[in-house]
Amino acid sequence: PPAPLVPVPLAPVERDSAIAWARTTLPPTPTAIRFRWHYQDEHVKYAGRGTARVAPPDSMRFDYAGPLGLGSGAAVVIGDSVLWADPEKNFRSLVPAIPMLWAALGMIPPPAAEADVLGAELTDSASVRRRVVWRFAQLGDTLDYLASDSAGRTVLLEAEWRRQGERVARSRTSLDARQRPASARVDFPSGGARFELTVVAIDTATVIAPALWRSRR
């Protein structure tokens, strides 16, 4: 198994600092992220296209389709909760960890009000790269985030979700020059599953119709 994402002890930090950092990862306006995706586990392999429409700070309409439009579906996510999914079973198979979906798209929702917040700032003297580490922990769930900076901008965002000490998922997202998601990979150790996406377009002037939040069609 891979080493822990954050192998050093962390100290408590002010919640406002974590909230301010999380906000910097969110788009300033409603944004549509179009991507190609690939999913595989021990039994199946799927691929297709998708669109994530994000209304900051915490809402997302997620649409996906397989080749030739087969296996299509949609869902609305609010924070780390699924408001609705159609068909629900397909969506939860494709996206079994909502926090990792946000992280894969290069975005971090603020910590929950009841979460303990810890953090640290690390400097790699060999590469002169700064790494900022955050941990949001609550009720047995721990989310670790590691943002690697180069030349003053974040180029890589990694995340790890553990439940009761067991690793649920781990993600790695590469960001472009504008610090927007370019590609991502999410691994789920328990089921041998992997979800990958490659961003093909980002529309920062999108208008999200109110009906899209209510139903798939």
Instruction: Kindly report each contact of residues 119-124 with a partner whose C-beta sits within 8 Å and lies 24 or more positions away, as own/partner.
Output: 119/10, 119/11, 119/13, 119/17, 119/18, 120/6, 120/8, 120/10, 120/11, 122/8
Give the CA radius of gyration of the chain.
17
DSSP-based helix, strand, coil % in the chain, nearest 5: 15, 50, 35
Q: What is the pTM of this model?
A: 0.90
Is 174:156 a contact under the CB 8 Å cutoff? yes
Is 130:149 a contact under the CB 8 Å cutoff? yes
The confidence score (pLDDT) of residue 41 equals: 87
> DSSP assignment, residue 91?
H
More confident residue, 121 or 184: 184
Report the sign of the C-alpha dihedral through residues 45, 172, 161, 189, in that order: positive
The confidence score (pLDDT) of residue 182 equals: 97
72 Rama class: left (phi>0) / alpha (psi -120 to 50) / beta: beta
Taking only the tens place, the pLDDT of each residue in 18-71 is: 999 999 999 999 999 999 999 998 888 989 999 999 999 999 999 999 877 668
The confidence score (pLDDT) of residue 126 equals: 61
